[in-house]
Amino acid sequence: MEMFFKEFPHPYDKQRKALGDDELGLDPLQTKFWFQNKPTQMKAQQERHENALLKAENEKLRADNARYKEALSHATCPTCGGPSVGEMSFDKQHLRLRMPD
């Protein structure tokens, strides 16, 4: 039925009946429901696949973020060698920028 579905996703009653009766021994109603449910199953499978990809990407971004935070916690100012902006309060940083060297 999978191969038939790829060619004819919306078969006529006669096609469904012939497929179910002749090839698989299924009741016509079973065959009808199978063709009705197949698109939903395919969509769910596609969504699971996409969710797995997004989850992996999210985990990678979280790891990158943690690595960057760690690097920034040990960063120093390239100009003066002092602590980076993140380690200094806003007021101290503002005063430091205003004071001439």
The per-residue pLDDT for range 7-22, each reduced to its tens digit, is 888 888 888 778 776 6
Distance CA 93, CA 49 (A): 47
Distance CA 75, CA 92 (A): 17
pLDDT at 97: 55
73-96: per-residue pLDDT in tens? Answer: 777 776 776 666 555 555 555 555
Which residue shows structure tokens 């009741």?
27
32-53: per-residue pLDDT in tens? Answer: 888 899 999 999 999 999 999 9
Distance CA 16, CA 22 (A): 10
pLDDT at 9: 81
Are the CB atoms for 64 and 57 separated by under 8 Å?
Answer: no
Residue type at 6 in one-letter notation: K
Are the CB atoms for 82 and 76 separated by under 8 Å?
Answer: yes
With H, G, I as helix, E, B as strand and everything else as coil, classify residue 53.
helix
Contacts of 88 (CB under 8 A, 6+ apart): 82, 96
pLDDT at 41: 95
